[in-house]
Amino acid sequence: MRLTTLLGGCLLATLAGCASTTIAPTYNTSNPNMKVGGERPADSGPTTENAGSFCMDLTEKWHQDGKTPDGQPLWAKDSLRKVVPCK
């Protein structure tokens, strides 16, 4: 009888712990190629970079790459590069 009472008490304590409020996650990242939540970031237009003997057109585009467990969108940046003659 004592064992049944002890097991019942442990079960109730476990269920009470699971029923308490959960901690809301906070997402932060120092990675400039990824953002969490909010609206889609703005794409940057093509820019030309001089790489010495050649130049590159650089375009950055954002796309949604899934969601967090609580439904916030994950945004990832694509960097598109194309070699062009220098002006």
Please report the pLDDT score of residue 73 as a whole number. Answer: 94
Asked whether residue 22 carries a pLDDT value surpassing 80, the answer given is: no
Per the structure, the count of domains in the chain is: 1
Task: Please state the pTM of the whole predicted model.
Answer: 0.60
15 found inside a domain? no
Tokens of 5: 């009472």
Asked whether residue 7 carries a pLDDT value surpassing 80, the answer given is: no
User: What mean pLDDT do residues 11-18 have?
Assistant: 60
Residue 25 and residue 69 in contact, taking contact as beta carbons nearer than 8 Å: yes
Asked whether residue 28 carries a pLDDT value surpassing 80, the answer given is: no
Domain coverage including residue 60? 33-87
64 found inside a domain? yes
CA dist list (Å): 70 to 22, 24, 73, 76, 86: 12, 9, 9, 18, 47
67 found inside a domain? yes
